[in-house]
Structure 1
Amino acid sequence: MKHFIFLGIFLWALSRGAMGAQGVTYGGPVGGTDIQNAYLPPDPGLYGSFIFVGAYGDKFYDNSGRSPATSVRLPGEIAEFGLLYVYPVKLFGGTLGSSVATGYGWGSITVNGRRQNFNGINDIYTDVLMWSKHLGSFDAGMPRGLTVKLGYSMVIPIGKYNTTDLYTTGQNTYYYIPNAAFTYLTGPNFLGDGTEFSAHFFLDVARKNFATNYKNGLVADVDVAISEVIGRWQVGVAGYYARQFTDDSVNGQPVPGGNRFASAAVGPVVAYNIPECKCSVKFKAQLSVFTRNSLAPNAAYLFFNKAFN
């Protein structure tokens, strides 16, 4: 395949809101990441992304499973915009880049019969610095073999937030997120131009919410995808698993039961590259398969990515 461009990787922004004064939140890009996890575009310059998200959840799970005492319904949408800049310099033979994104969220939430609409600006998600290096060979523009990426990301709390609403689009919390990604592309096979295996590991370190003195525990998250490249198409299955390893705390003391969060979801991902306009489109769905101490999320994502160089 001669036209293989790295535009499907810009899955930015923040899809997790904050449940009022406290609750389970963690920082990361929209729906995690999936295909082409470790790639950065090979050409320096500016790249942009627009993301639309539709999400729905109506099942709340506590430490033991689905909670019979909590009735929740949350339909919501997000429109997100992101920019990526690839630097015109190399470091140890690898590509350097930085990204930033924010957007607007809206919807409604009903908890035990109390209903409230919400809308507002999201927090900023930024890949402060990313470094990507391909360790294999190139075949007709395709990066065969292993590519690795190291990054440091943050969530910067500029979004709408207050302590009385049931749900807010901002979290009022800084997150520090070291991360690493690995992508391996095989040679051509009977299915198409190559099978891709991708994984992206995040460690989410939350700062205290100074409006409530609430601090979320340490969360580890892995996003995985297996897909096949077929001409301009890339088709596969993607999912994530996130788990909290330390207790939440308020005023420096652990909350009862720890409120440790866990979530897993899986679903299809389909991308289509359009080299004529240096752009790509992608659809992704994530269906919840496991949840603890959170609302079980189901979401669909539509991405449009464009190179401006």
Structure 2
Amino acid sequence: MGYFQLSQEEERKMKRARTLLGTALLLINCMTVAKAAENSNTQYAPGASQFYAGAIPPFEGFYFLSQTSYFTANRVNDGKGREIPIDFKVKATVETLRFMYVSDIRIGEAQLWGQLVLPLIHLDISNAFAKDSGFNMGDATATVGLSWHPDQKQTFITGIDIGMPTGAYDENALANAGLNHWSVQPTIAYHYSDPQGLEFATAARVIFNSENTATDYKTGNEFVLDYAVGWNFGKIRVGATGYYLKQFTDDKGPGVASDGHRGEGLAVGPSLSYSFNPGLGISASWQHDVVAKNRSEGNTLWVNVATKF
């Protein structure tokens, strides 16, 4: 049997190729939805609340919010925010339907409210070794909460979101709309709105994730802060929206890196809104990832339509 001897330069190239292949295979095994890896993905989309954070109306009734988002990325970063050198592309189009009911039940000065959130997700994911796409229902979220309205300009809310594994999931697929685990997300939010001036909204949540039983992988717990600030010019509002995400416990499961694969992200971008009347409004926001650690780095476009039934 014949053999050949590699030069030192060729050996270095082979070692680098094996390293990149290992990284690629790890990504393939872990990738799920738009943020690229199972252990960098949440059942709540950071930055989603925008100017709707804390904006629970004081009037009883049914409300509806349609959120259409388009996320694109062509890079995945390591734990220090450096690009991992591998061909990678993801496109995610999501239609999120939020059905909210504000009741007339009061607990002291607080008003009881709840919502059901249903995402429809179309994914296209590709890298140097595999390609996948699909359209499916994502994981649903149910919320129950309380709201306070100290005056006509301010609203405080608190609530508990329950993320449910209702989305389509296949552990052997690259593009998964669901995450195959539960989450509990206590949330607080504040909204201030002057119809002829400043508008400010922020929402903070902690996400406690359960284990994905199909992969024996448990994503670490995360803190997410959404924010929005703008100025109202009559029916038009101009501003900025974004989010900050920080994972504060390690991932647990097969293949977890020594740093616990803790994710961190920061995004910001412009926003424009128009109010047709008190019961119908439309807004658009663009958010750019300026910090992404152990996450994909990309851009998200949001188009939102809110109305009262």
2:204 & 2:180 partners in 1: Cα distance? Answer: 24
SS in 2 for 1:23: helix
- The 8 Å contact of residues 102 and 123 in structure 1, kept in 2 or not, is answered as yes
Deviation at 1:217, TM superposition (A): 0.6
Q: Deviations over 1:229-259 (max 9, x none)?
A: 22122221111110101110017x9653311
Deviation at 1:70, TM superposition (A): 2.8
Q: Structure 1 length normalisation: TM-score?
A: 0.83
Indicate yes or no: 2:226 matched with 1:223. yes
Candidates 130, 143, 149, aligned match of 1:134: 149
- The 8 Å contact of residues 17 and 168 in structure 1, kept in 2 or not, is answered as no
Q: Percent of aligned pairs with the same residue?
A: 22
Runs of 4+ in 1 over 3 A off after TM superposition: 15-20, 253-256
1:37 & 1:262 partners in 2: Cα distance? Answer: 21
- The 8 Å contact of residues 157 and 171 in structure 1, kept in 2 or not, is answered as yes
Partner of 1:240: 243
- The 8 Å contact of residues 57 and 295 in structure 1, kept in 2 or not, is answered as yes
AA at the equivalent of 1:100: L
- The 8 Å contact of residues 91 and 124 in structure 2, kept in 1 or not, is answered as yes
1:148 & 1:16 partners in 2: Cα distance? Answer: 32
Partner of 2:13: none
Partner of 1:158: 166
The structure that is helix-richer by fraction is: 2
Q: How many residues align?
A: 278
AA at the equivalent of 1:270: L
Partner of 2:128: 112
Unaligned runs of 5+ in 2: 1-31
AA at the equivalent of 1:130: G
Deviation at 1:30, TM superposition (A): 6.5
Partner of 2:94: 78
Indicate yes or no: 2:124 matched with 1:124. no
- The 8 Å contact of residues 36 and 296 in structure 2, kept in 1 or not, is answered as no
1:19 & 1:274 partners in 2: Cα distance? Answer: 37
Deviation at 1:19, TM superposition (A): 5.2
Partner of 2:293: 292
Deviation at 1:49, TM superposition (A): 2.0
Indicate yes or no: 2:278 matched with 1:263. no
Indicate yes or no: 2:37 matched with 1:32. no
* 175-184 vs 32-41, greater mean Cα deviation: 32-41
Residues 80 and 305 (structure 1), Cα distance of their counterparts in 2 relative to 1, 3 Å cut: same
Deviation at 1:18, TM superposition (A): 7.6
SS in 1 for 2:224: strand
Deviation at 1:273, TM superposition (A): 1.6
Q: CA RMSD in A?
A: 2.2
Q: Structure 2 length normalisation: TM-score?
A: 0.83
Residues 297 and 254 (structure 1), Cα distance of their counterparts in 2 relative to 1, 3 Å cut: same
2:95 & 2:242 partners in 1: Cα distance? Answer: 21
Deviation at 1:182, TM superposition (A): 1.7
2:220 & 2:49 partners in 1: Cα distance? Answer: 22
- Bigger radius of gyration: 2
2:218 & 2:111 partners in 1: Cα distance? Answer: 35
2:252 & 2:87 partners in 1: Cα distance? Answer: 24
Deviation at 1:36, TM superposition (A): 4.5
AA at the equivalent of 2:145: M
2:170 & 2:140 partners in 1: Cα distance? Answer: 17
